[in-house]
Amino acid sequence: MMKILAMVLLGFGLTAGAVMASVEDQIRSRIAPVGSVCVTGEDCGDIATSAAPAQASSGPRSGDEVYTAACQACHASGAAGAPIVGDQDAWAGRVDQGLETLVTHAIQGYNAMPAKGGCGNCSDEDIKVAVEYMVSELE
């Protein structure tokens, strides 16, 4: 009887060991890193370590292009008090301040308008040509 009991216990022990090894493997796979960090200058295999170019520029954008991409959302509808393009009454006091002031306000932000109108990929020059375009639409 003792031999049978010893064999049963040995069988349970082997089964439990196999189950525990399987559980440990599952835990290891769940907590394994999902990525790695590769620093410029290190050999990282086929991982590119140089920064990708931001956006290929095909040259300076026109005021109309910048307006359509970044300014139109507010300046076509008057959202948040933005002066509507072409509305001479809305722009009168602003234009009287001078183009330089308008450009400065557009670049730095003014009242409800965030800096650069929220256009993260617009340069100061892009903003300047967009302001010039909007002012030219008053004529």
For the cut 80, the answer to whether the pLDDT of residue 7 exceeds it is no
For the cut 80, the answer to whether the pLDDT of residue 73 exceeds it is yes
d(CA 138, CA 92): 9
For the cut 90, the answer to whether the pLDDT of residue 29 exceeds it is no
Confidence of residue 132 (pLDDT cuts 50, 70, 90): very high
d(CA 104, CA 110): 9
For the cut 70, the answer to whether the pLDDT of residue 81 exceeds it is yes
| Residue 28 included in any domain | no
For the cut 60, the answer to whether the pLDDT of residue 55 exceeds it is no
| Residue 79 included in any domain | yes
| Residue 19 included in any domain | no
| Residue 128 included in any domain | yes
Total domains in the fold of the chain: 1
CA geometry: angle at 76 spanning 70 and 80, to 5°?
Answer: 85
Q: Structural domain of residue 106, as residue ranges? A: 63-136
| Residue 41 included in any domain | no
Least confident of 39-48, 117-126, 127-136: 39-48
| Residue 49 included in any domain | no
CATH number at residue 128: 1.10.760.10
| Residue 27 included in any domain | no
| Residue 24 included in any domain | no
pLDDT, position 129 = 94
- Which residues have CB under 8 Å from 80's CB, separation 6+? 74, 112, 113
Confidence of residue 84 (pLDDT cuts 50, 70, 90): very high
42 touches 85 (CB < 8 A):
no
To the question of pTM greater than 0.75 for the whole model, the response is no
Confidence of residue 50 (pLDDT cuts 50, 70, 90): low
- Which residues have CB under 8 Å from 58's CB, separation 6+? none
